[in-house]
Structure formats: C-alpha cells, structure tokens
Amino acid sequence: MKQWTVTFLDAPGMSRIRSDRARRNAHIAFVRNRPELQIGGPLAMVPMQDFPGAIWTVQADCRADVERLILSDPYYVASLRRYTVSAWGDAAVGQAAL
C-alpha cells in the first residue's frame, strides 16, 4: 500500500458546513469507520481561529481510492473545499513508510 497526504483548502463558507451538527456527526462517524484514514484533523494557523482547511494521511493502493474516500466524506462540498493529494511512500500495513 502507498501512503498519501490529502491537504484540504476551505472557502469561508465551509464554516457553515462545519457548524451543522448533523453533518459534523456524520463526518465524525465517517472518519471513525475508515481504517485507511490513518490521521486526520483541522488546520489552524492561529489557535482558536476558523480552520482554513484540514489534512489527512491515508493508506490506499491508488489515488483513485483516495479520491473516492474524499468524495464520500459528508464534509466534502466541491464548491467549498479544494484538495491536493500527494503520494509519499510505500508501506506494509502497520509499518512506517520509507
């Protein structure tokens, strides 16, 4: 499997999506039920500010698998969230990438 980093850049309207409790709960359940999503969290340039985006680390065989994961996230809204996907290593499950 390959390690991937996904960096999200959010438009200002994304704060409305994040403040929707039902959508937030759906996003949290989504993240918790995806073992291939190894690390995820919001980006904040200054503590206590609105988040300009997020970052994920994903284990997947190919970029298409990563993009399917992104597009199925309840927080993904194409008009409000852009993303970049970068491959950074190959690793067996449970091992550090080299």
Domain boundaries of the chain, sorted by first residue: 2-90
Give dist(CA 88, CA 4) in Å, integer.
6
Whether the model clears a pTM of 0.85, i.e. scores above it, the answer is no
Query: What phi and psi, each to the nearest 5 degrees, are found at residue 41?
Result: 175, 165
| 2-90: CATH number | 3.30.70.1060
How many residues are listed for the chain in this entry? 98
Can you list the residues of the chain whose pLDDT is less than 50? 97-98
Query: What phi and psi, each to the nearest 5 degrees, are found at residue 23?
Result: -70, -40
* Predicted local confidence at residue 5, as pLDDT: 94
